[in-house]
Structure 1
């Protein structure tokens, strides 16, 4: 079958620099998109693929008391209700940050081949969470975005 473009969505949690949202070990929902896949040709329901990208910027929250490392986790899930752990994990990427690290936006890229049953439902929800665990107090500082594209078909 020829390649079909199905949908493209963006989710913007923060589109500029700045912010004071504290990070801790409780995941925060920072991206939420629903990709419309209802237009997939019936022969393509098993050939849908999704490309997902997300970026988040973190910064120090005040002066660090402990110079030990902190792990920032970005997690992408398919489905679920917007609460971490209720969907199917597609990606969990961890970044180690210390109080003396240079800070820059952190990004993830993920791909998914959703099951035909999810495609037949007509819309597939993808979410992005961020959490941190360690000695360094961090804030979500923008920009924070999550993007997704769905296509179907094969080239054979």
Structure 2
């Protein structure tokens, strides 16, 4: 059986670096997509695969010597499925500008697939002063063997 395309969605919070989304010891959702799965065939319910891609431009204030981690977390229907931390460079003495690209995959359970839509969100959180510039989040869902 060939691959069954289910859905593709994008969430583009910001197309420019300014004004940014401030992360000052807090977090921000910068991507929210609902991938439609209602067209999945019965034989493919357990064969759904999702690829998620995110991009964010960070500016990290390093004026105070503390840990400057920024964590990116992806949730499927409020369940954490992926988390990674950008450590930054605490030896840098000027504001850092970084581009972050993330690719994650998911094999959603049949119950989520049968609900007809799977909600994915990505959150960025920081334990010091950081700002999100341009950022986007996208996802593609397919099913089947092939």
TM > 0.5? yes
SS of 1:146 mapped into structure 2: strand
SS of 2:127 mapped into structure 1: strand
Superposed CA offset, 1:73-130 (max 9, x none): 0100001xxxxxxx11111010111362752211211100001111111010000000
**Change over 3 Å in CA distance of 1:17–1:29 after alignment to 2:** same
**Change over 3 Å in CA distance of 1:114–1:8 after alignment to 2:** same
* Aligned match for 1:126, one of 120, 127, 133: 120
Cross-structure match for 1:54? 54
Cross-structure match for 2:131? 139
Superposed CA offset, 1:124-147 (max 9, x none): 00000000114xx21122x10000
CA deviation after TM superposition for structure 1 residue 21, in Å: 2.3
Cross-structure match for 1:83? none
**Count of residue pairs the alignment pairs up:** 143
Paired with 2:63 and 2:96, the residues of 1 have a C-alpha distance of: 17
Runs of 4+ aligned structure 1 residues displaced above 4 Å come to: none
Two-structure CA RMSD over aligned residues (Å) = 1.6
SS of 1:154 mapped into structure 2: coil
CA deviation after TM superposition for structure 1 residue 22, in Å: 1.5
**Change over 3 Å in CA distance of 1:120–1:90 after alignment to 2:** same
- Unpaired segments of 5 or more residues in structure 1? 80-86
Paired with 1:97 and 1:39, the residues of 2 have a C-alpha distance of: 42
Cross-structure match for 1:75? 73
Paired with 1:21 and 1:3, the residues of 2 have a C-alpha distance of: 38
CA contact (8 A) 2:59 2:96 kept: no
* Aligned match for 1:97, one of 88, 105, 110: 88
TM-score of the two chains, using structure 2 as the length reference: 0.90
**Change over 3 Å in CA distance of 1:60–1:71 after alignment to 2:** closer
Paired with 2:139 and 2:40, the residues of 1 have a C-alpha distance of: 16
Cross-structure match for 2:27? 27
SS of 1:45 mapped into structure 2: helix
Cross-structure match for 2:109? 115
TM-score of the two chains, using structure 1 as the length reference: 0.85
